[in-house]
């Protein structure tokens, strides 16, 4: 008689799925994330895949990974995993640094042959001993063989059968964490609706994996994961790119303007283009242009014509768009530019994450060319910040750059689908009929905000033209007058500066009597917050501020930052926000903690840094 499996109750747990790029680890991880979100777990995910289109099978360069953190109080994908699924020796070797000392390792014994070990550059026939994995809970499973047996007689060819290995692993992990299979089956039905034989095979293999774990009790403990107390509503697992697309659609609805996206595919931003291209039913118009420059220029044309216009890209594409963005600055047209940051420079590390485009977003244009720069903090926050970016662009007649990054764009979190009543109306800065009586010209503007009035083509009496050459501040005609150029330069800057009155004040989190203030921006939020929370739990006095609005800065920025004895700015670059803050706040002195490895922060390294700073 089999010994009954022990059940452990945990607040949170991290699982890492790893294998070849063709092993379907991203799909398995996404399904597990969706199932966990649906039953009330907070989640945070981190897809980590190679830049190579397809490295040789079984080699170290071809390993694809997906880590998901589930439970209560989850803000990051976790520094290290409690469970590792390794579909081959290369997956084990490249991910050994990302597992806890007593982790559960589920591995496919059929893929740990001598040939597989050689391709993964192992020197011995015992990879676990060679890697020093002596304290692990090993779960050897003949996944490949059992999948072949499971689908014998299914009519699928061998290649199609082997593609189902990820579902066996998923079923086994679902058993380990007591996840219901019906939700995963529902998601598979949506994915393979047009391929009934593939759908049936995947569901059968997933069920067999679940039953295998149940029958052998997998020789390890199973886990019950605590669920979070959340606001009532409908929740789903959402990644940052999808949330960004939906945020733009919501802004379109609230502004009453049709949404136009002019874009060009680029990793890791392409999914925004893909998502919006599906939404013709909501009136979304998408142009996949021939290059980055054409993408932004079509968006500028759509803006002139009266649309909510956007363009999406990553760092190299932002560089190519810079001249056209300057045109939008000069013409004072609303435009949302989404930059999903990746490792660089040049083509760099296209599937890895960094925060290295900040100075480019702030200053990377010719001339004095001020625009609004905002950043999203989490995958779910991409919805709100895309909405807010559109609101600022339309109400202040300016281009707005929204910075996300590969980590939050491809990663996901649980998201409560909002009611649109929760979001404010967006009121574009249109011309009004009485302006005709005041001899309206295209650069007439509100005297307080310096925002020019927007006349859409076809509005009777408001015929005009715009362009990239400097304009007279009164008539709107081309002007090379030196004093006029100075005036228009000052007005364009004043218009952006005024926005500091329209954005939220900087909020201090953590201990109000802190000895150390941690400063971050963008997608590092979860890691920084987790580190600060951990230190406060240990009795240390640490506070935190996180910037979503970077240009202009919140009105209370200087007041907050100068209040603390020691300030550390943490970024996935070499100190770009720190440089910007010091240039804007005279006398500000900050410490810097930087990382440029194509990987997000680890909470443990942040805690170590903060402790050292406090000891000093």
- Residue 347, domain CATH: 3.40.50.970
pLDDT above 90 (res 95)? yes
Residue 179: predicted pLDDT: 87
Identify the helix (H) or strand (E) that includes residue 42. strand 42-48
Domain assignment present for residue 580? The answer is yes
On whether both 288 and 349 belong to a single domain, the answer is yes
**Residue 281 and residue 411 share a domain:** yes
Query: Domain containing 178 — which CATH number?
Result: 3.40.920.10
* Both structure tokens of 376: 């999203």
Give 155: exposed, middle or buried? Use CB within 10 Å, 0-12, 13-18, 19+. Answer: exposed
Percent of the chain with pLDDT over 90: 83
Specify whether the backbone of 546 is left (phi greater than 0), alpha (psi in -120 to 50) or beta: beta
Q: Taking the mean position of all CA atoms in its chain, how far away is CA 139? A: 33
Claim to verify: residue 400 and residue 438 sit in the same structural domain: no
Q: Tell me, yes or no, whether 464 and 600 share the same domain.
A: no
pLDDT for residue 231: 75
Please determine, for residue 56, whether its predicted confidence score (pLDDT) is greater than 90: no
Q: pLDDT tens across 247-295, in order?
A: 999 999 999 999 999 999 999 999 999 999 999 999 999 999 999 999 9
* pLDDT tier for residue 104 given thresholds of 50, 70 and 90: very high
Is the CA virtual torsion 418, 249, 548, 429 positive or negative? negative
Tens of pLDDT, residues 67-85: 999 998 899 999 999 999 9
304: left (phi over 0), alpha (psi -120 to 50) or beta: alpha
Contacts of 257 (CB under 8 A, 6+ apart): 306, 307, 308, 394, 428
Distance from the Cα of residue 16 to its chain's centroid: 19
Domain termination residue (choose one: 454, 479, 501): 501
564 part of a folded domain: yes
Q: What is the pLDDT of residue 572?
A: 98
Number of domains in the chain: 4
Tokens encoding 12: 């949170």
For residue 74, give Cα distances in angstroms to 71, 212, 462, 544.
6, 30, 53, 17
Contact assessment for residue 382 and residue 415, using Cβ atoms and an 8 Å cutoff: no
Q: Which of 225, 253, 275 is the last residue of a domain?
A: 225
How far apart CA 334 and CA 308 sit, in angstroms, is 7
Average pLDDT over residues 395-409: 97
484 and 560 belong to one structural domain: no
| Residue 238: closest CA among 421, 349, 376 | 376
Task: Examine residue 317 and state whether it is found in any structural domain, yes or no.
Answer: yes
pLDDT mean over 429-448: 92
Query: For residue 554, what pLDDT band results from cuts at 50, 70 and 90?
Result: very high
Q: Are residues 482 and 574 in the same domain?
A: no
Indicate whether 428 belongs to any domain.
no
- Domain span holding position 126: 7-225
* pLDDT tops 80 at residue 219: no
592 and 571 in one domain?
yes
- Do 553 and 535 share a structural domain? yes
Q: 274 and 190, same structural domain?
A: no
Terminal-residue alpha carbon distance, the chain: 60
Whether residues 164 and 250 share a domain: the answer is no
Lowest mean pLDDT among 169-178, 353-362, 501-510, 564-573: 169-178
Q: Which of 384, 400, 422 is the last residue of a domain?
A: 422
**Confidence bin at 372 (pLDDT 50/70/90):** very high
Instruction: Give the pLDDT band of residue 229 (cuts 50, 70, 90).
Output: low
The confidence score (pLDDT) of residue 222 equals 57
Distance of CA 605 to the CA centre of its chain: 21
Q: What is the pLDDT of residue 41?
A: 85
429 is a domain residue: no
Strand bridging mode 372-375 / 549-551? antiparallel
Contact 409, 268 (CB under 8 A): yes
**Res. 2: pLDDT tops 90:** no
Residue 205 parent element (H or E): helix 196-216
pLDDT tens digits along 473-495: 999 999 999 999 999 999 999 99
522 and 460 in a common domain? no
C-alpha distances out from residue 38 to 178, 312, 383, Å: 13, 30, 19
In a domain, 230, yes or no: no
Does 578 reside within a domain?
yes
Residue 91 · residue 18 · CB < 8 Å: yes
Give SS3 for 297: helix
Residue 188 pLDDT more than 70?
yes
Same domain, 461 and 524: no
Q: What is the CATH number of the domain that holds 521?
A: 3.40.50.920
Residue 134 lies in a domain: yes
């Amino acid at each position: 008689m089999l010994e009954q499996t022990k059940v452990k109750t945990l607040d949170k747990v991290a699982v890492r799925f790893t294998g070849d790029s063709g092993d379907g680890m991203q799909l398995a991880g996404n399904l597990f994330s969706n199932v966990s979100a649906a039953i009330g777990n907070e989640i945070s995910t981190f897809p980590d895949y190679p830049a190579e289109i397809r490295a040789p099978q079984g080699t170290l360069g071809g390993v694809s990974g997906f880590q998901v953190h589930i439970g209560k109080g989850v803000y990051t994908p976790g520094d290290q995993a409690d469970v590792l699924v390794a579909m081959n020796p290369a997956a084990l070797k490249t991910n050994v640094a990302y597992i806890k000392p007593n982790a559960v390792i589920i591995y496919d014994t059929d893929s740990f042959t001598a040939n597989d070990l050689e391709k993964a550059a192992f020197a011995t026939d015992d990879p676990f001993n060679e890697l020093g994995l002596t304290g692990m809970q090993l779960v050897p499973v003949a996944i490949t063989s059992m999948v072949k047996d499971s689908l014998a007689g299914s009519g699928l060819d061998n290649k199609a059968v082997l593609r189902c290995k990820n579902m066996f692993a998923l079923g086994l992990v679902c058993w380990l964490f007591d996840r219901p299979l019906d939700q995963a089956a529902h998601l598979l039905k949506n994915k393979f609706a047009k391929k009934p034989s593939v759908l049936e095979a995947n569901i059968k293999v997933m069920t067999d994996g679940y039953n295998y774990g149940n029958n052998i009790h997998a020789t390890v403990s199973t886990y019950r994961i605590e669920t979070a107390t959340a606001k009532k509503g409908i929740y789903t697992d959402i990644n940052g790119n999808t949330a960004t697309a939906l945020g733009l659609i919501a802004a379109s609805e609230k502004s009453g303007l049709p949404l136009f996206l002019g874009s060009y595919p680029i990793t890791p931003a392409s999914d925004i283009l893909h998502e919006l291209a599906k939404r013709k039913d909501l009136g979304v118009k998408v142009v996949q242009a021939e290059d980055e420059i054409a993408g932004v220029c079509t968006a500028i044309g759509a803006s002139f014509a009266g649309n909510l216009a956007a363009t999406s890209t990553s760092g190299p594409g932002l560089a190519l768009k810079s001249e056209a963005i300057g045109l939008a600055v000069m013409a004072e047209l609303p435009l949302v530019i989404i930059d999903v940051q990746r490792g660089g420079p040049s083509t760099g590390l296209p599937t890895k994450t960094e925060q290295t485009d900040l100075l480019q977003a702030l200053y990377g244009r010719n001339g004095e060319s001020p625009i609004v720069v905002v950043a999203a903090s989490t995958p779910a926050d991409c919805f709100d910040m895309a909405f807010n970016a559109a609101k600022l662009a339309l109400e202040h007649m300016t281009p707005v750059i929204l910075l996300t990054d590969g980590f939050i764009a491809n990663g996901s979190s649980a998201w409560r689908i909002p009611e649109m009543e929760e979001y404010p109306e967006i009121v574009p800065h249109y011309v009004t009929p009485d302006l005709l009586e005041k001899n309206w010209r295209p650069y007439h503007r509100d005297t307080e905000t310096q925002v020019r009035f927007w006349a859409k083509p076809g509005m009777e009496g408001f015929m005009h033209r715009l362009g990239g050459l400097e304009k007279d501040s009164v008539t709107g005609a081309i002007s090379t007058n030196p004093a006029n150029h100075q005036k228009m330069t000052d007005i364009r800057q004043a218009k952006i500066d005024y926005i500091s009155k329209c954005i939220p004040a900087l909020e201090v989190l953590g201990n109000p009597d802190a000895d150390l203030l941690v400063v971050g921006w963008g997608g590092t939020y979860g890691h920084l917050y987790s580190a600060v929370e951990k230190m406060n739990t240990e009795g240390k006095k640490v506070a935190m501020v996180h910037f979503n609005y970077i240009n202009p800065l919140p009105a209370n920025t200087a007041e907050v930052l100068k209040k603390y004895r020691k300030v550390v700015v943490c970024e996935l670059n070499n100190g770009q926000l720190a440089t910007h803050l010091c240039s804007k706040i005279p006398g500000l002195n900050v410490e810097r903690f930087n990382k440029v490895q194509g990987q997000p922060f680890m909470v443990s390294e942040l805690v170590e840094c903060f402790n050292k700073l406090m000891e000093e």
